[in-house]
Amino acid sequence: MLLCGMHTIDHETLRFDLILYHPYINTNDIFLFQVMPISLNPGIRTLILKYNAFHTVDASFNFYSELELVDLSHNGIVSVPPKGFKSQRNLVDLRLNDNKIGELGTDTFYGLRKLESLELRRNFISSLPENCFTHLQSLEVLDLGKNRISDISPDAFVGLSELRVLKLDDNNLNRIPDGLQHLTGLAELHLSRNKIRIVPDAALMLPSLSLLDLSSNKIEKVHEKSFQELGNLRTMKVQDNSLYEVPNTALAPLNSLEILLIGQNMFGRLQKNSFAELPQLKKLDISGCPALTHIENEAFASNSDLREVVISSNRQLQVIEPQAFTGIPDLERVDLSNNQLDHIPPSLLQWQRLNHFQVSGNPLHCDCANFFLKDVIYTIVNSSETVRVVRCWTPLHLRDQDLALLQLQCDVTSSSRIQDSDLLTVIIVASIVSVFIVVSLLLIFVRLRKSKYTQRVPVKDKDILQYEEAEPRYVSPYLVKPNVVSNPYHETMVRNDHYFTTLARLDPAFNPHKAGLGRPVDQMFVNTSSSDSSFEPVFREQIYSDPNLPAHHAVGTLIRINPKSHYEDPISIL
């Protein structure tokens, strides 16, 4: 295994870079540098000495005062002597990752006034004493992750007014470090994979912070005023902790929060408006919660700006109520994979607006109620988005079959095609309007029908029957002198002479015996004009009786002739 070396010259800027490193660790290789080389060009600006066998930073560095980037990672460096970098006044980037540095002193970084990035990742540092970074006035990025830090002095960060990123992840911290208030310009704070249990009040007085990572700790409680000074926070990671409920009150001041990762916690139910205090939230991840079983209606109703929701790998989650995502018009990406869902409510989402959807890994029951998912899958795939295969779990004869390839006999209603979440409202409104229209039409019809039967039709004077108290008389042209016969039944009816004359002309062939009504009991003949030479008898109204009965038992029918027809109209039973 040979040493790899490269010496480059930038002719425009007269910049000299030297890269001397071994690509694989091999302590038996005789070509590994044991000490810092001193015969290099003093004008070099980049020096990378990775994967060698240095144990310390010696005085050889004093020969290279023009260095801007130094990478001593993956060496065996145990310590950095005080003022070991005092000559590197132009150094901007120093990388000391993957060494064995155990402690830092007040003068460890003496002289590095222009240093902007310091990486000490994967070392053996256990504590940060006071003023250990006080000489790094221009430092913007400090990476202390994957060490053994358990104690941080309240004055450890004094002088780091320009610091933007602080990484203390994967250490042994059991509480939020003191002294963070000195980092007035801090934008990112990484405290994941520690042993923090409580986030106390006023522990994070960082008004410029935009990212806070508290994931993979043991946090059980977040005090109500813990995040009171984080008004500019955009991203919060609190997944993989021991929270038994969503800390709504503590989250209230985070009006600018856009990304919240809160999965792998212990809450078992998301109630209505669980994230009510986060109006600007755009991405929400609630994955891997071992106790989560139920998501109620309107759980995210106050988060109208949501664009992406990930609710996956919750192995106890069996129910997401149909209106859980009500009030989220711009939701584009939804992941419901690897839960315990056997049915997905058709009205859960506005499916036609999604450009990403995952539901694989659930024990789905493939029936007509879930068959609409076939349309959803095809729609998403057609928009050039990858969708993992969705397989049936029940019924048994369909187990492991691809839902997108099933052919079920389902009508439009039962298959629940892609529809808007407000379809139910549209149906209700349409039903009410339809009922109103039908009722209105029925009322109009009834009124018209009633008016038809009650409407008075005007008739000519000569056709009017006039009823008086006097006994009825029948007019006939045969008699000059009226012969009035008493009506034993006291019927009273008087008719106009012109009326009977008109009837006679219209129905001259009337025969009172053609209906088999028997003989007439009473009849009247009146001659209205002695000079009339036309003597044709016309029966206008007669009383008939049964000829088989005695005269004093006679019961007959009064017959009225309709002048416009040729039938007899019985009008009363005498």
Tens of pLDDT, residue by residue over 161-192, are: 999 999 999 999 999 999 899 999 999 999 99
Q: Please give the Cα distance from 51 to 2 (Å, whole number).
A: 12
Query: Which strand ranges, in their side-by-side order, compose the sheet holding 568-573?
Result: 519-522, 541-545, 557-561, 568-573
Q: Are 165 and 191 in contact (CB under 8 A)?
A: no
Two structure tokens written together for 378: 């095809």
- Angle subtended at Cα 297 by Cα 347 and Cα 279, rounded to the nearest 5 degrees: 105
Q: Is 16 helix (H, G, I), strand (E, B) or coil?
A: strand
Q: Euclidean distance between the first and final Cα of the chain, in Å?
A: 139
Query: How many residues in total does the chain contain?
Result: 574
Q: For residue 411, give the amino acid letter.
A: D
Q: What is the DSSP letter of 298?
A: T
- Angle subtended at Cα 289 by Cα 286 and Cα 290, rounded to the nearest 5 degrees: 165
Q: Please give the Cα distance from 93 to 114 (Å, whole number).
A: 9
The DSSP bridge pattern shows strands 117-119 and 93-95 to be parallel
* Dihedral-angle region of residue 383 (phi above 0 means left; psi in -120 to 50 means alpha; beta otherwise): alpha
Q: Give 545's strand partners.
A: 519
pLDDT of residue 548: 53
Residue located via tokens 């480059």: 8
Cβ neighbours for 544, distance < 8 A, ≥ 6 positions apart: 512, 517, 518, 519, 520, 521, 556, 557, 559
Write the pLDDT tens digit of every residue in 230-282. 999 999 999 999 999 999 899 989 999 999 999 999 999 999 999 877 889 99
Residue located via tokens 């060009």: 41
pLDDT of residue 366: 93
Number of neighbouring beta carbons within 10 Å of residue 430: 10
Q: For residue 21, give the amino acid letter.
A: Y
Q: Which of 371, 327, 377 is nearest to 351 (CA)?
A: 377
pLDDT of residue 28: 37
Number of neighbouring beta carbons within 10 Å of residue 84: 20
Q: Please give the Cα distance from 90 to 197 (Å, whole number).
A: 42
Q: Please give the Cα distance from 464 to 454 (Å, whole number).
A: 18
Q: Is 151 helix (H, G, I), strand (E, B) or coil?
A: strand
Q: Are 364 and 393 in contact (CB under 8 A)?
A: yes
Q: Are 131 and 156 in contact (CB under 8 A)?
A: yes
The residues of the chain scoring below 70 in pLDDT are 1-31, 384, 411-424, 450-574
Q: What is the DSSP letter of 402?
A: B
Q: Please give the Cα distance from 255 to 281 (Å, whole number).
A: 9
pLDDT of residue 574: 34
pLDDT of residue 505: 55
pLDDT of residue 433: 85
Q: For residue 423, give the amino acid letter.
A: L
Q: Are 257 and 278 in contact (CB under 8 A)?
A: yes
Number of neighbouring beta carbons within 10 Å of residue 211: 16
Q: DSSP readout, 344-392?
A: --TTSS-GGG-SEEE-TTS-EE-STTTTHHHHHHHHHHHTT---PPPBE
